[in-house]
Amino acid sequence: MLYLREGWLVGNAGLGGALLVIAAAYTITGTTALAVSSIATNFRLRAGGAFAIISTALGLEAGGAIGIPLYLAQTISSVMYLYAFTEGYAYFFPDHPAWMVVGVAYVGVGAVVLASAALAARAQAVMLVVVALAIASGLGGWSTATPHTPQVIGRFADASLIECFALFFPAATGIMVGAGMSGSLARPTHSIPRGTMAAWGTTLVVYVLGAIWYSTVATPEELRANNLTMVDNALFGPLVLIGLLSSTLMASMSTLVAAPRLLQAMAAHRVVPAAEWLSVEADGEPRNATLVTLGLAGLGLLAGSLDAIAPIITSFFVMTYLAINVVVSIEQGLGLVSWRPRFAVPTWVPVLGTAACLAGLTLSSPAGGVPEVMFVIGIYGWLTHRRQQGMLETPWETVQSGIAQTVAAWAALRAARMEKSERTWKPDLLVPVATAEEARALAGVASAITRHRGSIKFVAVSADPALATTLEDIVSSMREAERFVSWHRMAEESPGQGARLSINAMQGTFFAPNLVLLSARHNTPAVLQDVSDHAKQAGVGLVLAFDTPGQALAPPRTTTVWLSDRSPDWALSLHVANLDLPVLLGYLLARPVRGRTRLVTVLRSESSRPGATAFLNDLIELGRLPATTPFILSGTLKDKLQNAPPCNIHVLGLSDVIDLQRLSALHRAAGAPCLFVRDSGQESALA
């Protein structure tokens, strides 16, 4: 880029336009270099460079979604450098076929890379000296060249400013090569920041000086027509040409050394196909990964020219830099104790880098970055599918839990400052259990109630080891179904006392329980009444479950909600005692399985039928209750329960005084599981 394209850039865009392109490219790579340096000093980077950074923070799916495009970009960029070598070679031997020259260069570089990374490093060290001398010889041409007045802004005859950026940007992309060697460095947390920032600063100075040099030694027309202007105007032109050949071969070797290590790192975590074969090493070298990389580079030779390849890899590199800046922005924004890099950067640095990358991706890609983004999303979706199939697992903690906890803490703080509203109500269950059997009996009921929304907190009120094991299994299973569920122990407490203590202790927590779920079959009348009284005093609702021993609660396709006779006052308001919670539970039980709900009122007198009919119809309409049918019956509740059409579960109101004998009789009459519920006053079927 320095020898072959920067002169063209200055001739096309002018000195001001060229410096603007360089500034844009180096803003992106500079912020990214700072971000890489910062994150490299916060933990020891695993092998894989950018892949290691992103996957450590966001998981293997995100790491692979960015790592695979980065690997392709690095591999293809090696071809770009080989074509640059061919252009320089043509200065000496213009009659040699370009395809033969690039082919021989490809074979030579490939042989060195296959031999070992150490040999490639030694070869690069020699070439670096030649490159430094070549740059000095080129810039020294100022002393002999005829001075020209720089053109500040060019006419952009060959390409627009955005096209110039897309073509020139790969000149600044070498910053990730050092990070890509993270698995081979003795002290990566020390070497990566120093090497990355030194490389960024050095090359920026060289490109800026180069732009000024080009603008003062030749006219814009000469710069656009002659790609080898630096050779013609240097103190010693052949040395510049040798530097060109050396730098292109050096850059190609660098990427062909880094890319296989990235591929091997992804293969080690089964992110790519044929992972076991690709992760094999020979004498410490990723031999199989190198063979694949050389094969892809060989296919890249079909592109045909330097200018055809450069815009392709720009978008992939920008996507990588965008992801790295986003990771550091997230880490800094979370402010976790674990984020304490020795190389700290201001918060605005990765934020600026993110914005610059987004702008660069949008402007440089022919389709606004959409194909590149879709490619990354497609890889992420494929890797997510592999994880769901058990074929991919991130073996370390990521920052995702930190994101969730930080968002939850922010939401909890906001919620604590606001008054509770009927519109935000959802069932947050407190489930005290004393035995494993009781836990299994209530787990199905709790799961059915919270299947659509809500949370569950189990409380073990005994020290029974079997109970702890059962609760662990229940909670694990529910979490796999993406339920918000947890459990804790109130050992050595009586069931009633354990429930009371739990209600008191959790009142100030996020998702504080607003419903206590008790098993009628596993508790005595005294315990039920004791917990009921305490729940009412605390403003917490109550659900008393009657289940069938040995039978798990099936998804309720049909739910019957029994509402009491309200004669003579059939007024419907925001809060109606012993109506809001039964109706809402009926809705929650039926909605996830698209079941039906029956609203049934048993009248003491037929004269109340018109008022009851209007009341239920208004309740269904104003309560927005789908698939709900009203029924008006006359007689006694027990008789109507006994003769009611079959359903999966009955929901009935519950008085403050618990008559367990009467409730048991109603349960037997129903012949199906029953939930007797009492409102807390926080619910509203009309909200």
* Overall average pLDDT of the 517-542 stretch: 85
In the numeric block, which tokens belong to residue 136? 């000095």
Whether 123 shows a pLDDT value over 80: the answer reads no
| Ranges 21-25, 358-362, 433-437: which has the least confidence | 358-362
Residue type at 396? W
Distances (CA, A) of 207 to 20, 239, 627: 12, 18, 71
Pick the CATH number of 6-388 from 1.10.1740.10, 2.30.60.10, 1.20.1740.10, 1.10.287.3510: 1.20.1740.10
**What per-residue confidence (pLDDT) applies to 208?**
92
Query: Pick the residue with more confidence: 40 or 203?
Result: 203
Q: Does domain 422-542 have CATH number 3.40.50.620?
A: yes
| Ranges 237-251, 494-508, 530-544, 577-591: which has the least confidence | 494-508
Sheet holding 649-653, edge to edge: 484-489, 455-460, 428-433, 515-519, 541-546, 674-678, 649-653, 558-563, 596-603, 628-634
Place 496 in a pLDDT band, splitting at 50, 70 and 90. Answer: low
**What per-residue confidence (pLDDT) applies to 676?**
93
Q: In sequence order, what are the residues at sequence separation of 6 or more whose Cβ sits closer than 8 angstroms to the Cβ of residue 397? A: none
Boundaries of every domain in the chain: 6-388, 422-542, 554-687
* Overall average pLDDT of the 30-44 stretch: 81
Beta strands in 547-687 (DSSP E): 558-563, 596-603, 628-634, 649-653, 674-678
**What per-residue confidence (pLDDT) applies to 109?**
82
- Report yes or no: 530 and 626 within 8 Å, Cβ to Cβ: no
Whether 133 shows a pLDDT value over 70: the answer reads yes
One DSSP character per residue, 609-636 reads HHHHHHHHHHHHHHTT-TTEEEEEEES-
Hey, which residues does 519 pair with through a beta bridge? 545
**What per-residue confidence (pLDDT) applies to 19?**
92
In the numeric block, which tokens belong to residue 475? 């909670």
Distances (CA, A) of 102 to 22, 88, 302, 348, 583: 28, 11, 11, 43, 77
Handedness of CA 151, 153, 155, 161 (dihedral sign): positive
242-251, 314-323, 346-355, 585-594, range with greatest mean pLDDT? 346-355
**What per-residue confidence (pLDDT) applies to 221?**
87
| Ranges 321-335, 412-426, 430-444, 473-487: which has the least confidence | 412-426
Place 264 in a pLDDT band, splitting at 50, 70 and 90. Answer: confident
**What per-residue confidence (pLDDT) applies to 677?**
92
In the numeric block, which tokens belong to residue 387? 């994880």
**Quick check: do 6-388 and 554-687 share a fold?**
no
Whether 399 shows a pLDDT value over 60: the answer reads no
**What per-residue confidence (pLDDT) applies to 508?**
59
Of the chain, the percentage scoring pLDDT greater than 70 comes to 84
pTM of the full structure: 0.62
Distance between CA atoms of 408 and 505, rounded to whole angstroms? 20
Place 20 in a pLDDT band, splitting at 50, 70 and 90. Answer: very high
**What per-residue confidence (pLDDT) applies to 32?**
87
**What per-residue confidence (pLDDT) applies to 646?**
85
| Ranges 343-357, 431-445, 503-517, 572-586: which has the least confidence | 503-517
Query: Which CATH superfamily includes the segment(s) 554-687?
Result: HUPs (3.40.50.620)
**What per-residue confidence (pLDDT) applies to 233?**
82
**What per-residue confidence (pLDDT) applies to 420?**
65
**What per-residue confidence (pLDDT) applies to 169?**
79
Helices (H) and strands (E) counted in the chain, each on its own, are 25, 10
Place 181 in a pLDDT band, splitting at 50, 70 and 90. Answer: low
Distance between CA atoms of 670 and 299, rounded to whole angstroms? 74
* Overall average pLDDT of the 341-350 stretch: 86
What is the residue-averaged pLDDT of the chain? 80
Place 493 in a pLDDT band, splitting at 50, 70 and 90. Answer: low
- Residues 628-671: pLDDT tens digits? 888 888 888 888 888 888 888 899 988 888 888 999 999 988 88
